[in-house]
Amino acid sequence: MERVNQLSIFLSSSNINEYKIELSIFLISIVLINLCLHAQMESKKCEGPEIMAFHRYPAIVEHILKTNFSNYPKGEAFHTCMEELLGVGIFNSDGDMWRQHRKISSFEFASNNLRNFSTTVFRDYTLILASILHQASTCGKQIDMQFQMILDSICKVGFEVEIGSLAHELPNHRFAKACDDATSTVTYRFINPLWRLKKFFNVGSEALFVQSIQVIDEFTYSLINIRKAELQGAKATYNNANNIKHDILSRFIELSENPYNNLTDKSLRDVIINFVLAGRDTTGATLSWFIYMIAVNPNVAEKIYKELITFKENQAKEIIEYDPEEEPKPFAERLAQFASLLTYDSLGKLSYLHATITETLRLYPGLPQDPKGVLKEDVLPDGTKVRAGGLGVYSSYAMGRMMYNWGLDATSFNPDRWFNKELFQSESPFKFAAFQAGPRTCSGKDSAYLQMKMTLAILCRFLNFNLIPDHPVKYKMMTTLNMEHGLKLTVIAGQS
């Protein structure tokens, strides 16, 4: 097992402009890490690594994420860097607190009500986005494809509020910007030991962090107050059966009424920000990388388009009397008609789209790396000893590009690799770890696929995307794999 320092973690996570110089740096750092690993294994010296990379073999990933899960919590380093932003929410808690959050959120995600409501919300917001993009296509306007609508849909599905960041000018929402700035700062804390000094003097990113937390707190506490007032109003009118909402925030507010649960307004604030950060950047970033990948792989875009056309014909035959000779309709009507065919069940038929999303996540996992604390001394499946009190990292980004895992074409974008005899075949989550695995697997995975498939089915059916020449596409150093300079492109309305 490799022992790495903060510099190599930085190298293995800095802006990697795929297939170019920065990838070489990344690969060199992986090679160095692995050399260290072998040297260490050869000499059988295991002198208590402070930081370890756990992602070399799927068996090791399985060990830390599942078999000996309780020994690898988030850990002190993670808590310290993240606490002001995430508080004691699901992402930043361990033990009983985590179990309580997990129980409620898993219950919510499994509910049919939430699933049906999400399907409608995802469809409605994509229709707005598609009309904005279609309008841009008529005048050749440049677009920065950052998918602000994810914030709208998370807030609608999670807390039943409209925040209106999806307007015709695609504005930069204050709360969204505060989340970006705050996550950027906490990510740098992992690699910059001087952050406490910056915080003490309140300078640079740490000063911006304080302002970002203020914006986040204003937004979240006002949401809590509004929702509490609504719930009380509903109870006061004895009409709670019809008026009480079933979003995640409302359920936590109900639980907070029982003092035994010890849920304060601060805990509710933490629930909101954890939910937003869990769903927004991960899904938004994946959608951006997907659009980028199909823009540079037009053969894949063409296959998706063909799948969507076949899907439309088959679905339409099942639902309405279908006339292939029908007169062409205006864009808005065709858009709405196609969107009406997309349901939770019917989206399951789009297996090539599903594979293309999965292939995007293999190369660009929304959360590229994840740190873990080490509670007690342990021995990994390859015989490496792990000392108590250390920090381990597994990188789904590195795992997605290892030939050891994916063969010689590991760095090629090839959605067909996910098919076996024309059927989509999933991989072990300890090899394809974009959603993590074991007890802490992403609770929003199905919801994320639902949203991504809804969005991309509609966009890829009607629109094509052309990158602005020479626009640099590389990722930004954050907890999530966002694009440093955005994704600048022009949109062209597709075939009818």
Residues 6+ apart with CB under 8 A from 22: 14, 15, 16, 474
Subset of 366-425 contacting ligand HEM (CB under 6 A): 366-367, 370
**Two tokens, residue 188:** 């740098």
Subset of 259-278 contacting ligand HEM (CB under 6 A): 275, 278
The binding track of 67-106 with respect to ligand HEM, each residue x by CB under 6 A or -, is -----------------------xx----------x--x-
> Using CA atoms, how far apart are residues 463 and 138, in angstroms rounded to an integer?
11
> Using CA atoms, how far apart are residues 457 and 350, in angstroms rounded to an integer?
9
The binding track of 185-224 with respect to ligand HEM, each residue x by CB under 6 A or -, is ----------------------------------------
**Nearest CA among 136, 134, 146, 273 for reference residue 217:** 273
Name the residue with tokens 């907890």.
479
Do 315 and 341 meet the contact criterion of CB atoms below 8 Å apart? yes
Minimum separation from the CB atom of position 490 to ligand HEM (A): 26
Q: Does 290 bind ligand HEM (CB under 6 A)?
A: no
**Two tokens, residue 349:** 């038929």
Question: Any bridge partners for residue 52, and if so which?
Answer: 3, 392
Measured from each CB, the residue nearest to ligand HEM is 444
Cβ distance to ligand HEM smaller for residue 275 or 465: 275
Residues 6+ apart with CB under 8 A from 298: none
* Other CB atoms within 10 A of residue 485 CB: 12
Do 86 and 92 meet the contact criterion of CB atoms below 8 Å apart? yes
Instruction: List binding-site positions.
Output: 442
Minimum separation from the CB atom of position 493 to ligand HEM (A): 27
CA 19 centroid distance within chain: 23
Sheet of strand 488-493, all strands in order from the earlier edge strand to the far edge: 142-144, 488-493, 463-467
Subset of 353-372 contacting ligand HEM (CB under 6 A): 361, 365-367, 370
Do 465 and 295 meet the contact criterion of CB atoms below 8 Å apart? yes
Of 279, 400, 415, 438, the residue at the interface with ligand HEM (CB under 6 A) is: 279
The binding track of 138-157 with respect to ligand HEM, each residue x by CB under 6 A or -, is ----------------x---
Q: What spatial distance separates the first Cα and last Cα of the chain, rounded to whole Å?
A: 55
Only one of the segments 189-197, 341-349, 402-410, 434-442 lies at the binding site for ligand HEM (rule: CB under 6 A); that segment is 434-442
Of 82, 311, 444, 475, the residue at the interface with ligand HEM (CB under 6 A) is: 444
Do 130 and 335 meet the contact criterion of CB atoms below 8 Å apart? yes
> Using CA atoms, how far apart are residues 288 and 487, in angstroms rounded to an integer?
7
Residues 6+ apart with CB under 8 A from 160: 227, 245, 247, 249, 250
Decide the pairing of beta strands 423-424 and 2-3.
unpaired
Instruction: List binding-site positions for heme.
Output: 442
Minimum separation from the CB atom of position 278 to ligand HEM (A): 4
Cβ distance to ligand HEM smaller for residue 346 or 441: 441
Cβ distance to ligand HEM smaller for residue 184 or 288: 288
Only one of the segments 252-260, 375-383, 436-444, 465-473 lies at the binding site for ligand HEM (rule: CB under 6 A); that segment is 436-444
**Two tokens, residue 108:** 């919510």
Q: Does 283 bind ligand HEM (CB under 6 A)?
A: yes
Q: Does 443 bind ligand HEM (CB under 6 A)?
A: yes
Of 30, 151, 355, 434, the residue at the interface with ligand HEM (CB under 6 A) is: 434
Question: Any bridge partners for residue 53, and if so which?
Answer: 2, 393
CA 418 centroid distance within chain: 20
Cβ distance to ligand HEM smaller for residue 311 or 435: 435
Cβ distance to ligand HEM smaller for residue 90 or 335: 90
Of 442, 473, 483, 487, the residue at the interface with ligand HEM (CB under 6 A) is: 442
Q: Does 286 bind ligand HEM (CB under 6 A)?
A: yes
H/E segment holding residue 491: strand 488-493
Only one of the segments 18-26, 282-290, 293-301, 453-461 lies at the binding site for ligand HEM (rule: CB under 6 A); that segment is 282-290
Q: How many residues bind ligand HEM (CB under 6 A)?
A: 25
Minimum separation from the CB atom of position 371 to ligand HEM (A): 8
Residues that bind ligand HEM (CB under 6 A): 90-91, 102, 105, 154, 275, 278-279, 282-283, 286, 361, 365-367, 370, 434-436, 440, 442-444, 447-448
